[in-house]
Amino acid sequence: MLTIIDRQMLAAFFKAYIVCLVSMLSLYVVVDLFTNLDDFTGKNKPWQKVAIDIAAFYGYRLSQIFDRLCEAIVLLAAMFTIAWTQRNNELVPLLSCGVSIHRVVAPVLAGACALLCLAVFNQEVVVPLISDKLMSEKDDPHAVNIVQVRSGYEPNGIHFEGDKADRTSRAVSNLRVTVPESLAGNLIHITAKTAIFHPDPEGGRGGKWELLQTIPKEVEGWDRETQLIEAVDTGRYLLHVREVGFDAITRNPNWFGFASTIRLFQEMQRPDASRAPSLAVLFHSRLVRPLIGVVLVMLGLSVILRDQNRNIFISAGICLVLCCLFFGAGYSAKMLGDNDFIHPALAAWMPVMVFGPYALVLFDAAHT
């Protein structure tokens, strides 16, 4: 049951969180906007169009910015809550009544865990939902410009490559398809002047490519029993695919950073998965991320509680330095895992293994 003190601490924590959230997001947007203002104002665009593009670009980017800063925001909110409680001498009466310091900060830890779960929801639901917008360039916030096409392989060995793609119509110009000998009986090359992708109506990852104005116009030697390709008309075919849809050959090389954890796991199961170490490190990092946030908050609170007479701004500075060291160690471990120097799981868990015991010892040693 929540006591009056618990409700007061929770209210103070959420107020501090809102202030930190708005401040950090606003600061990030302002600095990034003025750094890249030329990218928005190019091509002699009118100021109304520039304003709309800026609003659209950063409107979608807020979820990504929040995803990057969520742990730091929770840490700052918890730190300011406890520091202001100390500054107002509200801890002394509670400690004099025999209430332990761990019981006093328990509501703050509970609130921090709840907001870290909100970050997980943003990571797993919101970011993947708008991933195509997040991968767009600053001069194309609505993701409608013509883009280059990357090559790709189907699990059965069919290879795709093309020139340019229109994301509005899901059309690719000069799509070149190579069917391996193991499927067709002989090596087949098909070049479609225009190829339009039709997604799976049931929402799956596959679909079919409508190949138009193909060269050659008729495919000879194709094993019709495979049912992968359908001849609709002369120079027009329907090619069924499981993996290489429109998004697969037009997406950003770093697309997996915006994918859900389930999608990462599915991608890791593919035998031809590219950048396997990076995918594995990111997958394990997603699993350990909530625990990393808790360890970081406990470290910050331990720093505040070790010296209750320290100036609040000095405490804030120490917490920020601690946060930089923590994330620096995590980034170093990630680089080692991405380059296959250490196991991906070890790279993801190393910050917890190094800082976790230290955080528990510091938190347990807090003055009561």
User: What type of residue is 106?
Assistant: A
| CA pair distance 237, 218, nearest whole angstrom | 9
Q: Is it the case that residue 278 has pLDDT exceeding 60? A: yes
Contact 269, 329 (CB under 8 A): no
Residues 127 and 38 in one domain: yes
Phi, psi (deg, nearest 5) at residue 100: -70, 155
| CA pair distance 144, 348, nearest whole angstrom | 36
> Taking the alpha carbons of 45, 47, 52, 55 in that order, is the dihedral positive or negative?
positive
Residues 19 and 135 in one domain: yes
Reduced to 3 DSSP states, what percent helix, strand and coil does the chain have, rounded to the nearest 5?
60, 15, 25
Say if 178 falls within a structural domain: yes
Higher pLDDT, 9 or 91: 9
Q: Is it the case that residue 187 has pLDDT exceeding 90? A: no
Residue 143 confidence (pLDDT): 62
Residues 351 and 312 in one domain: yes
Residues 19 and 107 in one domain: yes
| CA pair distance 285, 353, nearest whole angstrom | 13
Residues 81 and 192 in one domain: no
Residues 28 and 93 in one domain: yes
Contact 316, 83 (CB under 8 A): yes
Contact 268, 283 (CB under 8 A): yes
Residues 33 and 124 in one domain: yes
Q: Which of 250, 282, 315 is the last residue of a domain?
A: 250
Task: Give 122's DSSP letter.
Answer: I
Query: pLDDT (tens digit, 9 = 90+) per residue, 51-74?
Result: 888 888 888 889 999 998 898 899
Query: pLDDT (tens digit, 9 = 90+) per residue, 32-53?
Result: 888 888 877 766 777 787 788 8
Q: Is it the case that residue 239 has pLDDT exceeding 90? A: no
Domain containing residue 155? 151-250
Is the bond leading into 128 cis (omega within 30 degrees of zero)?
A: no
Q: Is it the case that residue 269 has pLDDT exceeding 80? A: no
Residues 104 and 196 in one domain: no
| CA pair distance 259, 28, nearest whole angstrom | 23
Say if 320 falls within a structural domain: yes
| CA pair distance 45, 2, nearest whole angstrom | 56
Say if 94 falls within a structural domain: yes
Cα angle at 185 between 181 and 190, to 5 degrees?
65
Query: What value does the mean pLDDT take over residues 300-326?
Result: 76
Phi, psi (deg, nearest 5) at residue 366: -60, 145
**Distances 129 to 56, 149, 234, 242, 329 between C-alpha atoms, Å:** 15, 22, 39, 21, 30
Task: Give 228's DSSP letter.
Answer: S
Contact 190, 211 (CB under 8 A): yes
Q: pLDDT confidence of 225, banded at 50, 70, 90? A: very low
Say if 260 falls within a structural domain: no
Residues 164 and 99 in one domain: no
Residues 339 and 278 in one domain: yes
Tokens for 161? 């490559």
Residues 239 and 326 in one domain: no
Number of domains in the chain: 2
Q: Which of 234, 250, 266 is the last residue of a domain?
A: 250
Residues 204 and 124 in one domain: no
Residue 223 confidence (pLDDT): 52
Contact 214, 235 (CB under 8 A): yes
Q: Which run of H or E residues covers position 191?
A: strand 188-199
pTM: 0.78
